[in-house]
Structure 1
Amino acid sequence: MKIEGSLAMGSQWALVVLACLCLLVPNVAMGQLYKDPRQPVERRVNDLLSRMTLDEKIGQMTQIERGSASAAVIQQYKIGSVLSGGGSEPAFRATPSQWMSMTNNFQWGALKTRLSIPFLYGTDAVHGNNNVYGATIFPHNIGLGCTRDPWLVRRIGSATALEVRATGISYTFAPCLAVCRDPRWGRCYESYSEDPEVVRSMTTIIDGLQGQSPAGWRGPYLQDRRKVLACAKHFVGDGGTFQGKDMGNTVVNYETLVKTHMRAYPTAIAKGVSTIMVSYSSWNNQKMHANKFLLTDVLKGRLGFKGFVISDWDGIERITNPWGANYANSVRLGINAGIDMVMVPKNYVTFIATVKRLVSTGAIPMSRINDAVTRILRVKLQAGLFEYPYADNSLGAYLGTLSHRALAREAVRKSLVLLKNGGGAKKRLLPLNKNARRVLVVGAHANDIGLQCGGWTMSWQGSQGATTKGTTILAGIRQSVSKNTEVVYQYNPPTGYAKGKGFEYAIVVVGEKPYAEIQGDNLNNLNMPSPYPALIKDTCSNIPCVVVMISGRPLVVEPYLGYMNAFVAAWLPGSEGRGVAEVLFGNYEFTGRLSRTWFRNVGQLPMNVGDRYYNPLFPFGFGMKMGIK
């Protein structure tokens, strides 16, 4: 009897201890291991996957656009991710609190689903949080490549992550690891360089965006609430298409594809990049969105990528021509090729139904669905989204901070490339005299934030005008000269304006209008738009001048070079135009070196460093100094 009583008492104590544990970790008591942050990630993934229905799995594989989303839609269709297309925002010039309110509302819908799987919000923060009014806009990648400064790029990644989190967003479709081999491509400015090794060196931005865990594990560490998930794009070969045509065909053998266009991806994967986006382009006439060999055998197999593969915007629909033809077959090809999350901005109802039907017929095996969802859940769990699903209101203050703008000015200064400073009959002009009595500034690009930021700024294609907060180049000039210097600005002065008016020199700021993919392709001439050629000839024929070019790629400049005393490539500097003026006036030395070859004429293209017939106007890596102390 005593023994029996002791056993009974022991059992009662065991029940008490178990009950206490249940109170501490109620989800574990109910067997919901996936909600226990103390469990290994893979165990949580497997537990959650085992509980999911096919509808819930397909929902996780679906990413829809903000304009199509609502808490009710997310809850009904179990949507796993939402994105903002270029320029898509919750309200005109939305504040951080408005952004957070929107993302929190969507998250509320996700957490109301049966398994409470948090959703993931993505945005194209490709040079700062560029969809958001008042964010710091950093130079585009072509300029950052000229800095040859991986530490600077890492710091930009950290600043961008903070400004993205300032709006309640935890995922950015960056960095772009394309190796642009032809400046006619409309996305060339998204590429760090024509040199794959320069591109590879800039993967340090992933460290800045995603952070590193205290234990040293390289990958997303969002538990500190200041980091975001990164996305290496576009896999693979998008920068090598024939004649630089966007979404075109890259015709190279496998060895060249790996050596040139895939060079940066092993490093990005080693850094723990969470997601990789598929390219619209084709490789030897096979669409990348349907290329199982490259997406599954190479990327997931040989390279060991453990995150998830995401399509580009409506990328699956573009597999077949005309666009969207034989939709079911495109879905089958894309998912079976290895795409895990599919960006279907508006057509999500049809997509979900199509996938479900293809699974029921065996056209898409259940093993492929489980692999895709495993990868998506792994990323969400590693990122801490289950523990911290909602926005942190305290981070809103980080949008457009003075320290981030100072970092952007540093990036502008280091990205500038001095290509000419005197020579021939022209005298050396730089650094400019801060104490000149009278200075002329001409060109629309001198006084326009939208023009100096370029595409992917407040809208997909970008636009002219005061699109966001920042400092124009003209404002930076006025801040750099002495208080006794008169700065005269003329948008497009009449012929002969510069002559006989006492100007010591002119600063002529020229460039391209903003553009992005598709619409940015320039397959014919790469000439400066009117009135800039005439403006250079007239102004520089009458007084000494420095020409500053704002562009996303080299443009035809050789016919006008003889008119200039000095020539500076400023690329697309972003919101902090003062950085340009700080170098022109000698506060800092030029340190930038060309990240891509500057051609003489379009007939030479494509022409890259190392080519047999290499005869550039300015070679890859070229960059002068003023010689200031």
Structure 2
Amino acid sequence: MFNCHCTLLMCDRDENLVHRIGIATAHEVRASGINCTFAPCVAVCKDPRWGRSYESYSEDTEIVRKMTSIVTGLQGQPPSEYPKDYPFVKGRDNVIACAKHFVGDGGTKGGKNEGNAEISESELTGIHIKPYVDCISKGVSIIMPSYSSWNGRKLHEDYYLLTEILKNKLGFMGFVLSDWKGIDRLKEPRGLDRSCIARAINAGIDMVMVPYEFEEFMNHLTSLVESGEIPEARIDDAVERILRVKFIAGLFEHPFTDASNLLHKVGCKSHRELAREAVRKSLVLLKNEKISDKYFLPLDKKAKKILVAGTHADNLRYQCGGWTVKWQGIPNDTTIEGTTILKAINEAMGENVEVIYEESPSIDTLSQRDISYAIVAVGEESYAETFGDNEEPKICWNGADIVSLVAERIPTLVILISGRPVVLEERLLKKIDGLVAAWLPGSEGGGIADLLFGDYDFQGKLPMTWFKRVDQLPMDANDKNSYDPLFPLGFGLTLGNNLTDGIQAQTVIKSSLSQPNGDFIISLDNNSEFEPDFYHLPLRKKIKVA
């Protein structure tokens, strides 16, 4: 229900919303009998080609830092007198949180999962480590290292980062947990290995995730300690850290969750309403053309007949994305409770409007002259981790063809369901009248309909730069000389075609599409002066004020 995908939640920059989602998530996780969650992911994604880019809140470090408020939602808020940087879990309705993946996983070359972050220590510290500092200050109990490497050295065996920086310099008092079979990845071919165990434990790994060969692991570990290859002091430190978290979480007093007190909260009305709120606050309106002196959105609820089309219009698998039910997403033979975009539109329109649904509309359907407008939902397939690495993220299958076919004949709104910005060809953008980035909204499609018909206004802003071409990647919003996006970091329109910070933007999209240098011309409805950075709109040149 609450989509794990951080990109969606970040579009509104609402720290309180993320905190409340953390509380609700803790209740539902506890009700399942689990007392720990592998969240949050506080990666700073610098390249949307990365298959885990949707697990990142933003490419902007400061935005990611704000979203660490989810830690206190999951674990509870430490009292003011509580020891600084000490793990904290408030009570039995809370869960142990795990910040991941330490560190630099969002900065690998080419956006490769489990790749190599070829960056300086100052970049690592200034961009990627800062969110962990905030997590630690909020009492996060566990930190998980990344599968990736920093300048050629695997994070799971990096003593400098795990011990000298994380534990000694940053003062982290919780424990370091390896990723799934993380130690197995320290050699090729992959597999459990005595020397890998020694390197990882000595580097600072306190608890190891060994899903299968745990007996072999224990034999190796015992032998390594007996031989002195792993000092007993290192084991003592690991045990102390693990026990500290268990004591703080009350696992010795209450080793099992009393699920009966929380089962009524699983999928409850208030949680679904919160999830719906998250959806409608996070959608980003990217284009809203005028038709006969009237903006296309909000859509007319009194239309006699409308068309809904596209590969993603009636599919919860695509709305939820990877890590839902299964690793790569909801299996095709599995049904979950939720509201698709099509269902949400039908509920919003009522019985007096004829809603035609065809995934790929026929020419006969498109030739009907009494269709007022079309809503076409397209996007990416669901994916997770390396399966999502993509050198050219784009609309999958025949989605772009469906958009083109419909938009040539009917006023068209496109809803993009994707975990990241994707390639949008100029010819396609010119054909459509409205464009909404819906990211991976999860099960509550009603939040999308809330915005389309004007019940609520758009307030989402892009958490990532929307590139024009993949050869521009990675893009740096702070590089004023080369930053030439399709839509800049922080861009987002309201139904009045204003930027979400209140600035009119009727020429922004036309300028970004037509001017080869990518300048953004913003027209103001007043004579006030402002600093562009306040609006999170990196601009190449001075703003022209109308």
The aligned amino acid for 2:180 is W
**1:436-491 deviation digits (Å, cap 9, x = unpaired):** 10010001211111110000000001036554211111111111114311111111
Alignment equivalent of 1:364, drawn from 217, 230, 235: 230
Name the structure 1 match of 2:37. 172
Alignment equivalent of 1:507, drawn from 375, 395, 417: 375
Aligned pair in 2 of structure 1 residues 489, 336: CA closer, same or farther (>3 Å)? same
Q: Could you say which structure has the higher helix fraction?
A: 1
> In the alignment, does 2:439 pair up with 1:574?
no
Name the structure 2 match of 1:55. none
Alignment equivalent of 2:139, drawn from 265, 272, 281: 272
Alignment equivalent of 2:100, drawn from 233, 236, 255: 233
1:342 aligned counterpart, secondary structure? coil
Distance across 2 between alignment mates of 1:139 and 1:406: 16
Contact residue 426 and residue 564 of structure 1 kept, 8 A: no
Name the structure 2 match of 1:156. 21
Contact residue 421 and residue 429 of structure 1 kept, 8 A: yes
Contact residue 556 and residue 600 of structure 1 kept, 8 A: yes
Contact residue 87 and residue 174 of structure 2 kept, 8 A: no
The aligned amino acid for 1:158 is I
Name the structure 2 match of 1:615. 484
Could you tell me how far 1:423 is from its partner in structure 2?
A: 5.7
Distance across 1 between alignment mates of 2:188 and 2:445: 43
Name the structure 2 match of 1:137. 2
2:215 aligned counterpart, secondary structure? helix
Aligned pair in 2 of structure 1 residues 531, 464: CA closer, same or farther (>3 Å)? farther
Q: How does 1:214-229 map to 2 (within 5 A)?
A: 217=82, 222=89, 224-229=91-96
Contact residue 248 and residue 282 of structure 1 kept, 8 A: yes
Could you tell me how far 1:430 is from its partner in structure 2?
A: 0.3
Name the structure 1 match of 2:149. 282
Distance across 1 between alignment mates of 2:123 and 2:79: 38
Could you tell me how far 1:266 is from its partner in structure 2?
A: 0.7
> In the alignment, does 2:489 pair up with 1:624?
no
Contact residue 311 and residue 341 of structure 1 kept, 8 A: yes
1:147 aligned counterpart, secondary structure? coil
Distance across 1 between alignment mates of 2:65 and 2:364: 48
**1:266-298 deviation digits (Å, cap 9, x = unpaired):** 110000000000000000000000100000000
Contact residue 511 and residue 529 of structure 1 kept, 8 A: yes
Contact residue 198 and residue 224 of structure 2 kept, 8 A: yes
Aligned pair in 2 of structure 1 residues 244, 164: CA closer, same or farther (>3 Å)? same
1:518 aligned counterpart, secondary structure? helix
Distance across 2 between alignment mates of 1:139 and 1:147: 16
Distance across 1 between alignment mates of 2:195 and 2:325: 35
Contact residue 586 and residue 628 of structure 1 kept, 8 A: no
> 5+ unaligned residues in a row in structure 2: which ranges?
499-546
Aligned pair in 2 of structure 1 residues 609, 142: CA closer, same or farther (>3 Å)? same
State the identity as a percent.
52
Could you tell me how far 1:494 is from its partner in structure 2?
A: 2.7
Contact residue 221 and residue 383 of structure 1 kept, 8 A: yes
Contact residue 448 and residue 464 of structure 1 kept, 8 A: no
Distance across 2 between alignment mates of 1:419 and 1:348: 50
Deviates more, 1:619-628 or 1:591-600: 619-628
Name the structure 2 match of 1:200. 65
Could you tell me how far 1:321 is from its partner in structure 2?
A: 1.9
1:588 aligned counterpart, secondary structure? coil
Distance across 1 between alignment mates of 2:60 and 2:201: 32
> In the alignment, does 2:469 pair up with 1:595?
no
Contact residue 31 and residue 266 of structure 2 kept, 8 A: yes
Name the structure 2 match of 1:61. none
Contact residue 558 and residue 617 of structure 1 kept, 8 A: no
Contact residue 220 and residue 229 of structure 1 kept, 8 A: no
Contact residue 310 and residue 343 of structure 1 kept, 8 A: yes
Aligned pair in 2 of structure 1 residues 139, 483: CA closer, same or farther (>3 Å)? farther
Distance across 1 between alignment mates of 2:169 and 2:78: 26
Could you tell me how far 1:215 is from its partner in structure 2?
A: 7.0
Over alpha carbons, which structure has the higher Rg?
A: 1
Deviates more, 1:211-220 or 1:293-302: 211-220
**1:559-600 deviation digits (Å, cap 9, x = unpaired):** 311111000000000110110011011000000000000000
2:376 aligned counterpart, secondary structure? strand
Aligned pair in 2 of structure 1 residues 369, 360: CA closer, same or farther (>3 Å)? same
Could you tell me how far 1:359 is from its partner in structure 2?
A: 0.5
1:497 aligned counterpart, secondary structure? helix
Say what the alpha-carbon RMSD is for the aligned residues: 1.8
Distance across 1 between alignment mates of 2:79 and 2:177: 28
Name the structure 2 match of 1:468. 336
**1:239-284 deviation digits (Å, cap 9, x = unpaired):** 0111001000000010000111112011100000000000000000
Distance across 2 between alignment mates of 1:222 and 1:556: 43
Name the structure 1 match of 2:288. 421
Aligned pair in 2 of structure 1 residues 424, 477: CA closer, same or farther (>3 Å)? closer
Contact residue 247 and residue 282 of structure 1 kept, 8 A: yes
The aligned amino acid for 2:232 is M
Could you tell me how far 1:389 is from its partner in structure 2?
A: 1.2
Q: TM-score, structure 2 length as denominator?
A: 0.87
Distance across 2 between alignment mates of 1:139 and 1:250: 24
Q: How does 1:528-547 map to 2 (within 5 A)?
A: 528-547=395-414
Could you tell me how far 1:497 is from its partner in structure 2?
A: 3.2
Distance across 1 between alignment mates of 2:4 and 2:453: 20
Count of paired positions: 492
Distance across 1 between alignment mates of 2:295 and 2:423: 22
Name the structure 2 match of 1:29. none
Aligned pair in 2 of structure 1 residues 223, 237: CA closer, same or farther (>3 Å)? closer
The aligned amino acid for 1:543 is I
Alignment equivalent of 1:354, drawn from 217, 220, 223: 220
Aligned pair in 2 of structure 1 residues 552, 374: CA closer, same or farther (>3 Å)? same
1:202 aligned counterpart, secondary structure? helix
Name the structure 1 match of 2:242. 376
Name the structure 2 match of 1:189. 54
Contact residue 341 and residue 448 of structure 2 kept, 8 A: yes
> In the alignment, does 2:339 pair up with 1:339?
no
Distance across 2 between alignment mates of 1:188 and 1:467: 26
Could you tell me how far 1:347 is from its partner in structure 2?
A: 1.1
Contact residue 306 and residue 374 of structure 2 kept, 8 A: yes
Distance across 2 between alignment mates of 1:221 and 1:164: 17
Q: TM-score, structure 1 length as denominator?
A: 0.76
> In the alignment, does 2:372 pair up with 1:487?
no
> 5+ unaligned residues in a row in structure 1: which ranges?
1-135
Could you tell me how far 1:147 is from its partner in structure 2?
A: 1.1
> In the alignment, does 2:319 pair up with 1:452?
yes
**1:162-216 deviation digits (Å, cap 9, x = unpaired):** 0000111100000000011000000000000000110000000001000035675
Aligned pair in 2 of structure 1 residues 491, 444: CA closer, same or farther (>3 Å)? same
Distance across 2 between alignment mates of 1:357 and 1:502: 78
Aligned pair in 2 of structure 1 residues 416, 266: CA closer, same or farther (>3 Å)? same
Contact residue 4 and residue 55 of structure 2 kept, 8 A: no
